[in-house]
Amino acid sequence: MEHAKLEHPAPEHESKAHMGIPLPNGKLAMWLFLVTEIMFFTALIGVYIIIRNGQPTVRQPWPTPHDVHLVEWIGAFNTFVLICSSLTVVLAHWSLHTKNVRRAILYIGVTLALGCVFLVVKAFEYNSKFAHEILPGRIFEKLDGPYGAKFVRHVAAQLQEIEEHHPNSKAIGQVKKLREEIGETFSGLSPKQVNERIVGPHHVKDCDKPERSFMTENDKGILEIDPDLHLSYSIPFGNMWASCYFAMTGFHALHVFGGLVVFTVILVLAWRGLFGVHHELMIELTGLYWHFVDIVWIFLFPLLYLV
């Protein structure tokens, strides 16, 4: 049973003892915010990891980077850009800590520039996805049934476009031939055969192999001859891939953009002469956020591009 104990009235210095941990409110709050962000990206990345490891099989595999126009070295370059920006932002904090305000502002400016480079490269990557229609809900997979018929019609329209606007393509002969074979009623070839003609026998996935193939080992697919043509082809789990890719990199890019907004605010403060050594905590907290964004990309890059 609890006794009503009177605790000693604290001696003068003790009653004014500070409660709490020796961490500024802002820093504690930023770490708590990062905790919520960790859970956010864990859920997002977790969804990707388990979907990717769950349903695909050997016959019907998860798309390779090549299938979806993902270029590894561009991702690696972006990783390098973010790493540099992490360095510059921590050096900005270090500069302020050593009372060099001008150098700190310079480093923040470089960080902002690097962040912009990251987003520009990302925009370039997204553009290649848009151009090839690698978008959620727009990718053809599963060529049986109604999907297959849609696929053939779509390809026929694309072939017509190529004939009209890219007559000098290396693969123009194959293009014309395929269009003829498909025919006016789109039923000259099965969807899987059309697909094989486009990607070539070496790149066809097991689940997309046509029952009767007219191509031999030495034949080349249209896209093997001229990879720049805009022709759709079956990408098993392509829609799932695109869904995950755009969700993950999209939210990461939004977070990068948020960081850039803060850097811009800091630079505006500096431009108006209001920035000084007393902003050290603010730079530290911004740096914490930015490092977190970098850590997320450190995981996103291998998970999406490499493994």
Partner 1 sequence: MSVAHPAEVHAHPEMNFLSKYFFSQDHKVIGIQFLFTSLIFLVVGGGLALLVRVQLAWPHAEIPLLSWMFQDNGGRMPESFYNMLFSMHASVMIFFVIIPVLAGAFGNFTIPLMIGAKDMAFPVLNMLSYWFMWPAFVLILSSFFVEGGGPAAGWTSYPTLSSVAMPAGEGLQSPAAPNSGHGQVLWLLALTFVGISSMLGSVNYITTIINMRAPGMTLYRMPMTIWAMFITAILQAFALPVLTVALILQTLDKTIGTTFFLPDGLTFGNWITGPGGGQTLLWQHLFWFYSHPAVYIMILPSMGMVSDIISTFARRPLFGYRAMIYSIAGIAGLGFIVWGHHMFQSGMDPRLGTGFMIATIMIALPSAIKVFNWLGTIFHGNIQYTAAMLFALGFVALFIIGGLSGIFMAATPVDIFIHDTYFIVAHIHYVLFTSSIFGIFAGIYYWFPKMFARQMNEFWGRVHFGLTFVLANCVFFPMHILGVGGLRRRIPDITASPREAAFMPLNQFITISALVLGAVQIIFVINFFYSLFRGKPAGRNPWNSNTLEWSAPSPPPHGNFETVPIVFRGPYEYVEVEGHGDHLPQTLKLEGPAPTAGH
Partner 2 sequence: MTDLEHKEHAADHGPNFQTYIAVFIALCVGTGLSFLANLFLGQGAASFWIIMAVAVFKATLVAMIFMHLKFDWGRLYCIVIPVSVMAVMMMIVLLPDSVFYWHHLHRQQETAAESTGH
Please report, as ranges, the residues that interact with partner 1 according to CB under 8 A.
Answer: 1-7, 9-10, 15-21, 23, 25, 28-29, 32-33, 35-37, 39-40, 42-44, 47, 50-51, 54-55, 135-138, 140-142, 146-147, 237, 239-240, 242-243, 246-247, 251
Check residue 101 for interaction with partner 2 (CB under 8 A).
no
Minimum distance between the CB of residue 150 and partner 2, rounded to whole angstroms? 26
- CB 306, CB 72: distance < 8 Å: yes
CA 90 – CA 103 distance, rounded (Å): 12
DSSP label of 133: T
Minimum distance between the CB of residue 144 and partner 1, rounded to whole angstroms? 10
Out of partner 1, partner 2, none, which partner does residue 97 contact, by CB within 5 to 8 A per kind?
partner 2
Check residue 298 for interaction with partner 2 (CB under 8 A).
yes
Minimum distance between the CB of residue 187 and partner 2, rounded to whole angstroms? 27
Q: Which of 197, 192, 188, 218 is nearest to 207 (CA)?
A: 192
SS3 267: helix
Out of partner 2, partner 1, none, which partner does residue 29 contact, by CB within 5 to 8 A per kind?
partner 1
Three-state secondary structure string covering 275-303: CCHHHHHHHHHHHHHHHHHHHHHHHHHHH
Residue 106's identity, in one-letter code, is L
CA 257 – CA 262 distance, rounded (Å): 9
Binders in 237-296 for partner 2, by CB under 8 A = 281, 284, 287-288, 291-292, 294-295
Reading the block at residue 272, the tokens are 């108006």
Considering the complex, state which of residue 79 and residue 239 has its C-beta at the smaller distance from partner 1. 239
Q: Tell the burial category of 138 from Cβ atoms under 10 Å away from its Cβ (0-12, 13-18, 19+).
A: middle
Task: List residues binding partner 2 (CB under 8 A).
Answer: 18, 21-24, 27, 31-32, 35, 38-39, 42-43, 46, 49-51, 53-55, 57, 64, 72-73, 76, 79-80, 83-84, 86-87, 90-91, 94, 97, 281, 284, 287-288, 291-292, 294-295, 298-299, 301-302, 305-307
